[in-house]
Amino acid sequence: MVLFWDKSKWLINRTPGKDPLIARGLQKEQYAGIIRLAIALIAAVGFFSRRVEYAIAFALFISVIFIALFFFA
């Protein structure tokens, strides 16, 4: 079911700060969860292969450095 056929009406009736599908204020929890998941993944892989664990950790470290360089430069 389409509520608005006319795009101009859709643009007028849209309120940018009130979208219920966008979680506001949960960014810190999301980042913490992503970091925990990454650490758990590295630990699980490291349980089976120490070389792969070191390779993943090195790649993440280099990625963080490049992201910081491009973001702050």
Residue 66 phi, psi (nearest 5): -65, -40
Alpha-carbon distances of 31 from 19, 27, 38, rounded to whole Å: 21, 6, 11
On whether the pTM is more than 0.85, the answer is no
Q: Residues near 46 by Cβ (< 8 Å), separated by ≥ 6? A: 52, 53
Task: Give the tens place of pLDDT for each residue, 15-61.
Answer: 666 777 777 777 888 889 988 998 888 888 888 888 888 888 899 89
Task: Give the tens place of pLDDT for each residue, 9-24.
Answer: 555 555 666 777 777 7
